[in-house]
Amino acid sequence: MIKSMSIIAKNKLTSEKKIILTVIIFLFFSFSFLAYSERKQTDPTGQNSWWELYFENPQSQDLTFTIKNYGKAKKFHWKKLEKENPVPLQEADIFIQAGQKSTIPLSLEIEKKIILEVTDEENKKKEIYKIIN
Amino acid sequence: MLEFIQSQIIFYLTITLVLFVPGYFMLLAFFGKEKLSSLERVILSSSLSILITDFLMLLLSRVGIIFTRNSLILTLILFSFCCFIVYRKRFKKSPAIVDKNSLFTFSSKQLLFIMLVLFLSFFLRSAYLQNSSPPSSTDLGHHMYWSKLFSETGKIQNYTQSDIIKENEIYQIDSPRPISDFVIGEHLIFSAINLISGANFISAFPILVLFYINIFTLLAIFILSLRLFENNPQNKNIAIFVLLFCGAIFAIDPPQAKFIGGGVVGNIIGNLLMPITFYFYIRFLRERVTPFLFFALFLSMGLFYTHHLTALIFLLTFAIFILLALFFNFHATKKILLGEIKLLRSPLLITFFLFVFIFVFSIYTPTYLKNSAINTVVGATKKIEHTGLSLLQFRNILGEARFALGSLGFILFLFFYKKNDFKYSFLLLLSWTSIITIISLAPNLIKLSIPSGRVANYGIYPFALISAFVFVSIFTQKKFNNKLIISAFILIFIFTFISGFDGNVDYFKKNTTNKNAWQTIQTGNYLASKMSSTDFLASDHVYLIADSWLKLFFMRDYYFPSYRANFERYENGIDKHEFCTRDMISSPDGELGKKCFSDLGTNFVMVDKAMDSMQFQKLNNFWQIYSNDKINVYYRKK
């Protein structure tokens, strides 16, 4: 870098034009670096390793839920649980690609606290619930 | 990838159109290729373009032309084209006298040093700022709400805010009241860039624009230094060290990269406009060329449309400058005043004053001039952060090296003032430094109630100018022993470097801010898609990162979503007079919490998973409807 700057410093352009050129080049590289860095950070196939879990219809009694994966492709295991009952009412595995989401339709059969618990390959767990009485 | 490259190209073209082209052509129309060197023209173009874009947009809004991509591109190009026509008419016949000023001719060693300093300045800022994307700063989120509002509605809107009030024992949202916290010039350039380039507000783009402005501030200080010390044989070396003291060392501390990442928009733009304004005043005072005064006045006006604190500091500095100038030339006071009054009769300046009059009274009046902001600033200090800093705090803000060298220079200036050598430069630096020091250390002396820490940050530039002057002046003295000089130079240089980079290492450590900010943004996305206009959301500012950006998803009002503020704001008796926003999150089952939920109709709550979920999980009337690593969202059943 210093060598190339030294070459620019010695060539035939006037010194103020060399300063202008240097600023433009540095601006271009800095902006590109920051924009690319942002793109990488928000790219689901990049280094992210998080996911979100939510109800599709948060205000109704419908239990349809979605898992959205912002990390690399992985397998998730979900369970539909009733409050204070460790035996799942329903459960299944689901594979979700990086940056993709999967919606699982579920309906309400009993009026109680129904918990949807999702675990990923690294054993990270999240849950959402609705309480119907 | 192709889409990314395409969006980048459009963004660079937009930046050039909004933040460079109008100013460049305006300078051409006034000066042709005379009076200003290429470097000066490029640096001055950026600050002028900010103001030209602002004023053109205010004008468009006043005549009812909606801001769109086409209307903005057309207006900016039309303005630049008109300036170009004037340039061709005025300067076509006269041969271009290119100002081959030796002031801007550097040796290859000096040039290499400048490039290295610039490289360090860019590198350190970029390395720090990669953690600021996606944006998480609270201030920037607030600012971008207004920019997005102007973009979406296509016109200027009033700065208003609603709040939670208690009326007839019922909590409710009151009708919007005008607020003075924002100034129009802080927001319009972002709206213009968003509309023209299509860049999303919740992206790196606002940070990149602030980065651009900050870099041009360094360059502005560089050319100001060259002009201030024009008569000094070491002027170029002084300017290079100014660049080092502002750009490379202390590159992260406020008001540099930390202000960019923190979205302190007004200060950043103000820090560019103020030195440029001084630049034009100094050139006018030395060369008596009326267009220099025109640009100085134009930029002064622009300051008042951009940032009130910067405008106030500028005004006070300028007032002291005039007093000192008259004091040091006491015998010629009458002659000076009469001479200046005569100049004000020039057609260019009369036209300008007419423009100011029409603009302020019939196009747009800055909000803080209409509201009660002035009354809250003038008077006894009320808040603890307004009562002045200790000398140690002041030193820490300025940086040890700059404080030491700057103070030494200040004393040297007082004792060894030579009028002819530093005509006006000395007076300007003295006024600039004094006013910032007084407001920072003892604001009560001039009865001003403004945040002392914020003001101290303005001191970095005049202190850097004086420090560089002292540094270079000392080490170019021929009367000292050469070896002694070199050893002392290396010693002070190392001290300055270590002091300048001290603490910066922590800034570069990998942090989780962007991951957390991204999760807040995705939660905002989810809620915006699931909530209707009758739903009401309460959020939290204490533990959630980037919560101020949530309002950009809803664009319902500046107050929406309501948020729990930092706890001390409920206790200081000044900031917060309602406790609904606190209790709806801290104790949703408490008497006040329940009443606030019921009165305000709040049915969604967004909180930090680890810190605030517990109190909601105990309650049967709250459903946990959303969860990610950092955040849980609850829905309150009706």
Query: Does residue B329 surpass a pLDDT of 80?
Result: no
Helix (H, G, I), strand (E, B) or coil at A87: strand
Counting one residue from A and one from B, how many pairs have CB atoms under 8 Å apart? 155
Across the interface, do A50 and B515 touch by the CB < 8 Å criterion? yes
As a whole number of angstroms, the distance between CA B123 and CA B247 comes to 10
Same domain, A67 and A120: yes
Query: Does residue B496 surpass a pLDDT of 90?
Result: no
Residues on chain B touching A42 (C-beta within 8 angstroms): 134, 518
Mean pLDDT of the B62-66 span: 95
The one-letter code for the residue type at A65 is: F
pLDDT tens digits for B107-151? 989 999 999 999 999 998 998 888 777 788 999 999 999 999 999
Q: Is A40 on the interface with B (CB under 8 A)?
A: no
Across the interface, do B526 and A48 touch by the CB < 8 Å criterion? no
pLDDT tens digits for B256-270? 888 998 889 999 999
DSSP letter, residue B57: H
- Chain A nearest CA to B485, separation (Å): 27
Q: What angle do CA B115, B265, B197 make, to 5 degrees?
A: 80
Domain ranges of chain B: 2-92+107-137+186-503, 513-636
As a whole number of angstroms, the distance between CA B594 and CA A105 comes to 33
Same domain, A59 and A32: no
Q: Say what the pLDDT of residue B412 is.
A: 79
Q: Say what the pLDDT of residue B419 is.
A: 54
Bridge partners of B165, per DSSP, are B172
Bridge partners of A128, per DSSP, are A116
Q: Say what the pLDDT of residue B485 is.
A: 66
Q: Say what the pLDDT of residue B475 is.
A: 78
Q: Is A43 on the interface with B (CB under 8 A)?
A: no
Query: Does residue B323 surpass a pLDDT of 90?
Result: no
Across the interface, do B114 and A35 touch by the CB < 8 Å criterion? no
Residues on chain B touching A18 (C-beta within 8 angstroms): 111, 115
Higher pLDDT pick, B272 / B475: B272
Q: Say what the pLDDT of residue B504 is.
A: 62
Which CATH number fits the domain that encloses residue A70?
Answer: 2.60.40.10
Q: Say what the pLDDT of residue B471 is.
A: 85
Helix (H, G, I), strand (E, B) or coil at B625: strand
Residues in chain A: 133
Q: Is A29 on the interface with B (CB under 8 A)?
A: yes
Question: Of B37, B46, B190, which is closest to residue A27 (Cα–Cα)?
Answer: B46
Q: Say what the pLDDT of residue B327 is.
A: 80
- Chain B nearest CA to A117, separation (Å): 11
Q: Say what the pLDDT of residue B500 is.
A: 64
Which residue in A23, A36, A41 is closest to B219 by CB distance?
A23
Q: Is A42 on the interface with B (CB under 8 A)?
A: yes
- Residue B380's pLDDT band, with cuts at 50, 70 and 90, is low
Across the interface, do B4 and A39 touch by the CB < 8 Å criterion? yes
Burial class (CB in 10 A: 0-12, 13-18, 19+), A59: middle
Q: Say what the pLDDT of residue B451 is.
A: 78
Q: Do residues B121 and B160 make contact, with C-beta atoms less than 8 angstroms apart?
A: no
Q: Do residues B558 and B577 make contact, with C-beta atoms less than 8 angstroms apart?
A: no
Across the interface, do A58 and B11 touch by the CB < 8 Å criterion? no
As a whole number of angstroms, the distance between CA A62 and CA B625 comes to 11
Whether the ipTM is more than 0.95: the answer is: no
Which chain B residue has its CA at the smallest distance from A38's CA?
B133
Same domain, A14 and A59: no
Q: Are strands A113-120 and A125-131 parallel, antiparallel or unpaired?
A: antiparallel
Mean pLDDT of the A98-113 span: 86
Across the interface, do B130 and A48 touch by the CB < 8 Å criterion? no
Residues on chain A touching B625 (C-beta within 8 angstroms): 54-55, 58, 128, 130
Across the interface, do A18 and B111 touch by the CB < 8 Å criterion? yes
Mean pLDDT of the A49-72 span: 93
Higher pLDDT pick, B492 / A75: A75
Contacts of A4 (CB under 8 A, 6+ apart): none
Mean pLDDT of the A68-83 span: 91
Which chain B residue has its CA at the smallest distance from A66's CA?
B626
Residue B387 zone, left/alpha/beta (φ > 0; ψ -120 to 50; rest): alpha
Q: Say what the pLDDT of residue B341 is.
A: 75
Q: Say what the pLDDT of residue B383 is.
A: 58
Q: Tell whether domain B513-636 is in CATH 3.30.1380.
A: no
Same domain, A24 and A71: no
Same domain, A97 and A116: yes
Q: Which domain holds residue A114?
A: 51-131
Residues on chain B touching A70 (C-beta within 8 angstroms): 518, 522
Q: What is the mean pLDDT of chain B?
A: 88
As a whole number of angstroms, the distance between CA B538 and CA B523 comes to 13
pLDDT tens digits for B407-460? 888 887 777 665 555 667 888 998 999 999 998 998 877 777 777 888 899 999
pLDDT tens digits for B548-578? 999 999 999 998 999 999 999 898 777 788 9
- For chain B, what percent of residues have pLDDT higher than 90? 57
Q: Say which residue the tokens 């600023």 belong to.
A: A23
Q: Do residues A103 and A64 make contact, with C-beta atoms less than 8 angstroms apart?
A: yes
Whether omega before B134 lies within 30 degrees of 0, making that bond cis, reads yes
Helix (H, G, I), strand (E, B) or coil at B356: helix
Question: Of A14, A12, A32, which is closest to residue A24 (Cα–Cα)?
Answer: A32
Residues in chain B: 638
- Chain B nearest CA to A2, separation (Å): 7
Q: Say what the pLDDT of residue B99 is.
A: 54
As a whole number of angstroms, the distance between CA B632 and CA B636 comes to 13
Query: Does residue B385 surpass a pLDDT of 80?
Result: no
- For chain B, what percent of residues have pLDDT higher than 70? 88
State the best of A17, A29, A31, A127 to mutate against chain B, taking most chain B CBs within 10 Å.
A31
DSSP code per residue over B391-433: HHHHHHHH-HHHHHHHHHHHHHHHHS--TTTTTTHHHHHHHHH
Helix (H, G, I), strand (E, B) or coil at B622: strand
Contacts of A5 (CB under 8 A, 6+ apart): A22, B112, B115, B116, B119
Q: Say what the pLDDT of residue B252 is.
A: 81
Written as six digits, the tokens of B148 are 């997005």
Number of domains observed in the structure of chain A? 2
